[in-house]
């Protein structure tokens, strides 16, 4: 364990209201592709960019193409929680971690056992009819073809925040409340490039800010501790004491 990880261990030992803020890098270690990394979705070739496909305008105009891409690239239902997900769930169960604030939509934090998870961009595991709001399981969406339709005839939409859509106000309020009362903020697996989500960390009022990411971020200079390693590699070294 290097000195930076030892410092992180000490701070976790001394904290009782940790909040973890995570991005795509938490999920890439479970085999889920990232948009902005070198091998991510943004660097693969499609008729439209993933950013365009995952917009509300595109969803409304070309739902067939949206769902072709969505099933192929966004529904990684066989992915399993990695060391980071598992450690965060352990910290919550031990009463150290207050909540996880995530930009991911894969549900892996809950699959690992985390209970208080603020999903800023929604979840692939929730789908609903835009007309009558009847819920549909993600397995139904994955197994289907074309545009999924409700029994009432309405179009089924994933409960994920597309580009051009606003974040859920109740989710934002919950995340902000936890961030404001945290005594340690750990940010991991994110370049902090996606707004408004990344701006939420400005609500943190504590003095200990930890950044764990494979590459540097625009906020490294603000951090009390910056560790440039994969998030799972770091958190698996942390012990519950």
Tens-level pLDDT at each residue, the chain (241 residues)? 799 999 999 999 999 999 999 999 999 999 998 765 555 665 666 788 888 999 999 999 999 999 999 999 899 999 999 999 999 999 999 999 999 999 999 999 999 999 999 999 999 999 999 999 999 999 999 999 999 999 999 999 999 999 999 999 999 999 999 999 999 999 999 988 777 777 899 999 999 999 999 988 888 888 999 999 999 999 999 999 8
What pLDDT is attached to residue 44?
67
Token readout for 194 is 């996606």
Distance of CA 193 to the CA centre of its chain: 13
Residues facing 219 on adjacent strands? none
Distance CA 197, CA 103 (A): 7
pTM, to two decimals:
0.93
Handedness of CA 50, 23, 178, 87 (dihedral sign): positive
Token readout for 47 is 């008729």
Question: Which residues form the catalytic set?
Answer: 121
């Amino acid at each position: 364990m290097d000195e930076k990880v030892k410092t992180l261990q000490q701070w976790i030992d001394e904290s009782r209201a940790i909040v973890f803020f995570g991005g795509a890098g938490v999920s890439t270690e479970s085999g889920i592709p990232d948009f902005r990394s070198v091998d991510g979705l943004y660097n693969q070739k499609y008729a439209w960019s993933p950013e365009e496909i995952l917009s509300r305008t595109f969803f409304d105009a070309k739902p067939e193409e949206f769902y072709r891409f969505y099933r192929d690239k966004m529904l990684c239902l066989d992915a399993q929680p990695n060391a980071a997900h598992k450690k965060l769930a352990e910290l919550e169960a031990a009463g150290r971690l207050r909540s996880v604030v995530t930009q991911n939509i894969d549900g892996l934090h809950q699959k690992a056992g985390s209970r208080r998870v603020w999903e800023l961009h929604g979840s692939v595991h929730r789908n609903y009819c835009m007309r009558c709001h009847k819920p549909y399981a993600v397995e139904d969406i994955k197994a289907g073809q074309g545009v999924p339709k409700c029994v009432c005839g309405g179009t089924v939409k994933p409960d994920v925040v597309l580009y051009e859509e606003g974040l859920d106000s109740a989710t934002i309020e919950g995340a902000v409340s936890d961030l404001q009362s945290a005594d340690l903020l750990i940010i991991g697996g994110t370049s902090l490039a996606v707004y408004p989500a990344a701006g939420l960390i400005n609500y943190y009022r504590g003095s200990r800010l930890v950044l764990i990411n494979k590459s540097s971020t625009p906020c490294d200079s603000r951090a009390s501790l910056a560790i440039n390693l994969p998030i799972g590699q770091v958190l698996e070294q942390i012990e519950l004491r």
